Amino acid sequence: MGKQKELQIKVRNIGPIRSLDAKLAGQQNLIFARNGTGKSYITRALSVLEGTDGDQDKEWPKLLVSTEAQEGKGTLELIENGTTIGKVDLNRRTGETQRAVDGHIFHVFSEDYIDQNLRQTRYKLNGDITHEIVMGEENVTIKEKEKEIVRNKVRLEAANAELKTRVRTHNQNMTVAARAMAERKTSGQRSYRVATRRQSFRRPNMISIRLRRL
């Protein structure tokens, strides 16, 4: 039975991490921490071990090295059974990126990897990715549809609110018009009653005059 591998990680001045020295499990490791504590910085520093083009190498020190590093230097080192199997040295001042890999292959599948290789190409594999199966595209499509439904719901609610406002304004205008018509009708009825009363007062006088003449 072979000797069990003992893995160790050392980080200095990477992102918000000033110093980290921790043991790792042989197969799988879970990094659990609050947002903003440096998890993404560790994965990005590990991805530097994969090797990138020269232009990207010039950007890594600015992106990863802590601004509080006294000499502007940051390092990440992986150790197996006391032997360094991967190390990244970054110099923020000179823009230099140095990596050392001891016969190991490092591949980091992080959010950055997804964004650069899959999301930006709308989950269509390019020539740089081979022998891989992309899963979860349906879930991404569903999430996009859900977001679209939410947007349409907001628009529908806004249109419904505007329609209610228009209906309320229309009803108010109709109420005012109805009151005006009712007032005109009532005024006409009063005028008719007054005229009728005046006429009723005049008839007896005319009859009495006629009687006197007789």
- Sign of the four-CA dihedral 112, 27, 38, 43: negative
Could you state, in order of their start, the residue ranges of all structural domains in the chain?
7-132
Listed in sequence order, the DSSP H helices in the chain are: 39-48, 54-64, 111-117, 137-213
Q: What is the per-residue pLDDT across 146-198, written as a single tens digit (0 to 9) for each?
A: 788 888 888 888 888 899 888 888 888 888 888 888 777 776 666 656 555 55
Tokens of 198: 């005046």
Residue 100, strand partner residues:
87
The model's pTM: 0.50
Share of residues in the chain with pLDDT > 90 (%): 18
Lowest-pLDDT range of 49-58, 120-129, 156-165? 120-129
Q: Using CA atoms, how far apart are residues 116 and 101, in angstroms rounded to an integer?
A: 23
Lowest-pLDDT range of 51-60, 62-71, 86-95? 51-60
Question: Is residue 32 scored above 80 in pLDDT?
Answer: no
Q: Using CA atoms, how far apart are residues 119 and 133, in angstroms rounded to an integer?
A: 14
Write down the pLDDT at residue 214.
47
Is 74 exposed, middle or buried (CB count within 10 Å of its CB: 0-12, 13-18, 19+)?
buried
Write down the pLDDT at residue 131.
45
Q: What is the per-residue pLDDT across 105-123, written as a single tens digit (0 to 9) for each?
A: 776 666 666 666 555 555 4
Lowest-pLDDT range of 5-14, 54-63, 90-99, 137-146? 137-146
Write down the pLDDT at residue 173.
85
Longest CA span, the chain: 151
Q: Using CA atoms, how far apart are residues 103 and 84, in angstroms rounded to an integer?
A: 11
* Architecture of the CATH domain 7-132: 3-Layer(aba) Sandwich (3.40)
Is 126 in contact with 117 (CB distance < 8 Å)?
yes
